[in-house]
Structure 1
Amino acid sequence: MTDRLKALADAGVSIWLDDLSRERIETGNLADLVRERSVVGVTTNPTIFASAIANGERYDAQVRQLVEGGVGVDGVIFALTTDDVRNACDVLAPVAAGHPADGRVSIEVEPTLANDTDATIASARRLWASVDRPNALIKIPATVEGLPAITATIAAGISVNVTLIFSVERYRAVMDAYLAGLEQAQAAGIDLGTIQSVASFFVSRVDTEIDARLEKIGTDEALALRGQAAVANARLAYAAFEEVIASPRWQALAAAGAHPQRPLWASTGVKNPAYSDTLYVTDLVVADTVNTMPEKTLQAFADHGEVTGDQVTGRAAEAQGVFDSLAAVGVDLDDVFLVLETEGVDKFKVSWTELVATVEAQMAATSGEAGA
């Protein structure tokens, strides 16, 4: 089973796990995935933490201690999540030592700050200081307000995972924000070689939204386009990445020691059971990218995934043809990406609310035990 994942890694795709829990860390499961499943990074979000905290007893002692110390819910969440990310960074440290672009563990700024630039910057700096590991990544959403926060955070020498990217247009703005941050960091005398970044381009949600619109249109031409938009969108994003990497602006930064901001394919769990469960891995194989997968997708690829060479480079014209066809049958692509970003931010906020509720319940349970 590991041969398929090794083949994926050998093709230049960094395999990151889209999940983390204290149980994974303390039982050695995360270390096993690194050793046996070619996993070289981890991404997290509030939903992942809420599930981990709700389903495990490994947080109880720390929650009890924090409650006894008078810490409120926000402080408890901060302590639990940064501790997990710090410890996961330590598990991944040997990977980072050999390949600094990997061995990374991501932690997200509070989603309720997605439309507040200054608060996002402050949150990113606080998280970075608390985790205190060079192989951490701070996740910042690619909202309009998030773009200057990305620049400021990179300029401070903090490594960033830009999340919630749906459109190529916004992706270009993200890459510009990264380069601007590097330029500011260079002017401040910061070693550019210490800064890493990925740009998380969401995949499956694009098909979910566009497929629903195609089915509503209902023509044979529209229905024939189902399941093609997400991969085409990612291939166009990669072509934009190639343009930036070839630019004189990037070449000057690379000469000063900067690392490219690698494209990361996120939301790669297939939501439509009619599609192959490895679709968003197999069809997006290309060197120097990251694919962050839920464990279900990871195991599916280990079982039956296929690597048949580079599936992205040189396919921008083909991908643009898909988008031209989508527009021709009546899909409003600008509206698609607006809806996806708005819903994405809203889902992040709901996830945060769920995390708060989960931790409050744990704190209440702990208080009840103390009073018993």
Structure 2
Amino acid sequence: MKNLSFIDKVLYLLNSLAATLLLLSYLLPFISPSVVPVFAILSLFVPFLLIINLFFVIYWLLKLKRQFLISIIVLIVGWLFTPPFYKISSNNSSLNSDLKVMSYNVKAFDLFTKSKDSSNFSNGFDFISDKNPDILVIQEYYKSKKNKLSFPYKYIKLRSKKSQYGLAIYSKYKIVNSGSLDLDSKGNNIIFADILKNKDTIRIYNVHFESLRIKPNEENFGEENSEKLIKRVSNSFKKQAEQTNIFLAHEKLWTGKKIISGDFNNTSYSWLYHQISDNKKDAFIEAGKGFGKSFSYWFPLRIDFILTDKDAIVNQFLTLENKNSDHFPILSKINWKD
């Protein structure tokens, strides 16, 4: 520190803070939000902290200063023990017998957005049809006559008899069983459908965990009072913890092949993800590439997931660009060993 200029001393203090926060974030998967809900907020900023610490490593190396060690050590610990922030290589193989699964938070198909050129406004329906998934799971589904989706089988669960909003599972394969976990939430739920593919019965979960109701494009995330914002987000994380326990209890009763997909409203550095992904494969980690960014924000947030059981083979994972929602659809090709 003695040989540093005043500006570098300030930067090193900021570097130390960023490194400490990132190191603390590694504890997130092991601490339930129901215990310390405020701490869970840190999971949303892990991607940002990773980028900041990488910046400091580069900065100190260019200046030939040993201060780079604090961030490089913390980043190495994260690389060894946490899910990857960025995937360099991908798997892009394919078999005719693959099950092609797409998960998409469609934001009510953006049906309420006014478009100047209505002739080019497809609400994402044509986009989905072009991708031709075998299984399509939709969050923030909206029941509308404009719906152009064509599948022989479907299971749709609306929030109530009077509501037009809910969750949906579309399938090219016969649905032999379906149901809803009926979470105690105004806008979020978990549903499932058991599909029959050849001789296999595969359970498809469509999950939409408690929303944080953050509007990133608005000042202060859309909340004038930051204390109210923190309290509201903390309460949402507590509710996510409750919903996670409900899901895990339900999932434990199914011992067959399964796919869990949907909008987690949390990152891969969270307790929620750690609990649900335990003993499973993350399709992005298995076959994806890049950041896997699934939420439209200025830094990479991967909050939409496709998980499979350990016996599955993930042959492809893609994050698809489509501007009809604040989420990007994700698609994976999945198979199982005979």
Q: Confirm or deny a common fold (TM above 0.5).
A: no
- Greater strand content: 2
- Greater helix content: 1
